[in-house]
Chain A
């Protein structure tokens, strides 16, 4: 591992800590308290409910007053022995891998571009990113659906300008693979602004002096990026990638809305819509809770490498 050019934040176990031992010791806990309380108040009960009911039979009847029965691991076993659950899981993981990677790579590219270009160009790019980001999800999905519409969509219309190509009438949302590709493009499009602006923010933290010093030492642009810039923004990159992975694995609203445009059925499901359909749609809340817990466990498994990395960096 290369040593970052700049020392990471110094953890406060430095000699100074002996000065005010008690105050020093209590301070981090004081800083944490508000956030912890907010989490406990807002998440504690729902989380406990979810864990509890993943072990119970909790359906619509229970919601309307029947006492829920304990079923132990039944909900989990049912899911884990259901090949459909596995197929949705695998699809979601693949979808997540492609989308998260594309988002982060494009986002970094955009941020570097913002850093490299002139001020007006940078502002234009930033504004465009934000415009896309600010668009309400309902509008995002509707507009994209119009653009790819088989009947009068811009995509088919424009593609058909190419001599010898007639795409009018081609429905992009029938073939599940094509459906997921479209979803991936839309979600990437919508998530890149966040990554780009965050990475750009991180890049502004890289001080000019360090770079100048490196340039004097004869470092090329690529070397500078690899040796100096990337290590400094590394903590943010790891976080961003992990976040994208988490979000893309449990993506819900976009898939739900896209399905609404004529892609009927569970072959277009990813984990988010699968869990929602099981819970709200079919009223099997206990099963949905178990599925949500499983998704969390699988997410931990998938991202363990990164999580460990993150925790290790703290040492």
Chain B
């Protein structure tokens, strides 16, 4: 309910912005100036370039917030172009097969599509998307989240741009920390120490799934390691680098001395720190996405039907960015997606116009106001001001890293190579030997 009212309020605000745009307030001026430029690239065919009906694919399913986004884009696009914009939703699980079949088919391709940031590289490398390097500057340029831009680029050529980001950080239980007499850790080593101490006292532990590489990879990043490196022509797995190995050893130590999760756990459980979520020792902290706050807290509330529901309690619950190896913030793996124009699109002018709308100040504001990490970091302040955890989310997202923008990355994810690697390490295996083994597996696939 709360979410919905918030959505409506934001929609009202957005409509106000649109209206303001019509009466040419200076806020809209910047946008107006980019739009004609876009259509001018279409040459002198101003008359013909008008009114193109577009199809856009979005991942996931519609809820109140995305509905508002959709309506905003549809109204604005109709107003600017005269054509209709239809938005179709594709489930994340069906995304690869649907994109693989439809993108090359010029008669049925979506003109603009969202694509998961780890899938983007696979499609950009086979030429599925239109080269939009010429639009890069006008759509935000270096203000756009660079990790995502890289994922959507091949060399200097830009194909897919960031759409929104999500971030991850540590959520913890103040009461359990207090009970064990520990403080919020400030270095990565302290994360292990603090929770090992809690575990020794039989109070609680740290919850991180054995297969949860999306959170666990931060330990590698924080120690200066990487999954793979690019030499300008091909990718090479880098799990065996000394930095990556020390990161994994640190993670293994955490899992063994302070962990309360199973070796097969994934990142599916996001509220493990709630009471009664785990058998045996509870979790005092865990890594979870920025939206996890929805469902964390003591079960003191009631939902519409009178069932107990978690309610956030500042006295009990808290969060902090995962600290780096020597303090500061550890780079996390950013979730989120990219957006691109299909190379087979028959409506390139309209599609470019739509990109202009998506990266306009108004739409970026709308995203930020509704809790979607905006692609353009200039709007980060709005997002950060929304809720205290967004501030941390933004902080971590700015230092976020993505998976290698390699052609074969989707295959590596599909085969769950990293899940297996992390599980093997969690089971207590020798990190150096395992790293070499999995480097080899990654190398077989990463260059496609």
Instruction: Verify whether A and B have any Cβ pair under 8 Å.
Output: yes
Q: Contact residues of A with B, CB < 8 Å?
A: 59-61, 63-65, 150-152, 168-169, 171, 173-174, 262-266, 277, 280-283
Distance A59 CA – B411 CA, assembled complex (angstroms): 12
The number of inter-chain residue pairs (CB within 8 angstroms) is 73
B149 to chain A, nearest CB (A): 22
In the complex, what residues of B have CB within 8 A of residue A169's CB? 262, 279-280
Q: Is the CB of B420 within 8 A of A64?
A: no
Contact at A63–B126, with CB atoms within 8 Å? yes
The 8 closest A-B pairs by CB, nearest first: A281-B414, A264-B419, A282-B411, A264-B416, A265-B420, A64-B126, A262-B264, A60-B126
Complex: how many Å from CA A277 to CA B279? 35
B49 within 8 A of A: no
Residue of B nearest to A150 (CB): B262
Given A264-B264, A281-B96: 12 more A-B contacts, CB < 8 Å:
A60-B122, A61-B127, A61-B448, A63-B104, A150-B262, A173-B264, A265-B419, A265-B420, A280-B414, A281-B410, A283-B122, A283-B448
B229 within 8 A of A: no
> Which of chain A's residues has its CB closest to B213's CB?
A264
Q: How many chain-B residues does the 8 Å CB contact rule pick out? A: 32
Which residues on B sit within 8 Å (CB–CB) of A277?
Answer: 414-415
Find the B residue at minimum CB distance from A284.
Answer: B411
User: In the bound complex, what is the Cα–Cα distance between A282 and B126 (angstroms)?
Assistant: 13
By a CB distance below 8 angstroms, the chain A residues around B100 are: 60, 63, 280, 283
Looking at the assembled complex, report how far the CB atom of A28 sits from the nearest CB atom of chain B, in whole angstroms: 39
Inter-chain contacts of A150 with B (CB < 8 A): 262
Cα A265 to Cα B126 with chains together (Å): 26
- Assess the A174–B264 pair: CB atoms within 8 A: yes
Could you tell me if A281 and B126 are in contact, using CB atoms closer than 8 angstroms?
no
- In the assembled complex, B208 has its CB within 8 A of some CB on chain A: no
Q: Which of B122, B268, B420 has a CB less than 8 Å from the CB of A264?
A: B420
Report if A65-B127 is in contact (Cβ < 8 Å); known contacts: A262-B265, A280-B96. yes
CB-CB under 8 A from B279, the residues of chain A are 151-152, 168-169
Q: Which of A63, A151, A264 contacts B211 (CB 8 A)?
A: A264
Task: For A265, give the chain B residue with the smallest CB separation.
Answer: B420
Contacts of B103 in A (CB 8 A): 64
Interface positions of B from 263 to 293, Cβ below 8 Å from A: 263-266, 268, 278-280
Taking the complex as formed, is B423 at the interface, i.e. its CB lies under 8 A from any CB of chain A? yes
Q: Contact between A283 and B411 (Cβ–Cβ < 8 Å)?
A: yes
Beta-carbon nearest neighbor of A169 in chain B = B279
Confirm or deny: B33 has a beta carbon within 8 angstroms of a beta carbon on chain A.
no
- Chain A nearest CB from B3 CB (Å) reads 25
A282 touches B97 (CB 8 A): no
* Chain A, Cβ-Cβ closest to B412: A282
> Is the C-beta of B184 less than 8 angstroms from some C-beta in chain A?
no
User: Is A265's CB under 8 angstroms from B104's CB?
Assistant: no
Indicate whether A61 sits within 8 Å of B126 (C-beta atoms), given known contacts A277-B415, A282-B445: yes
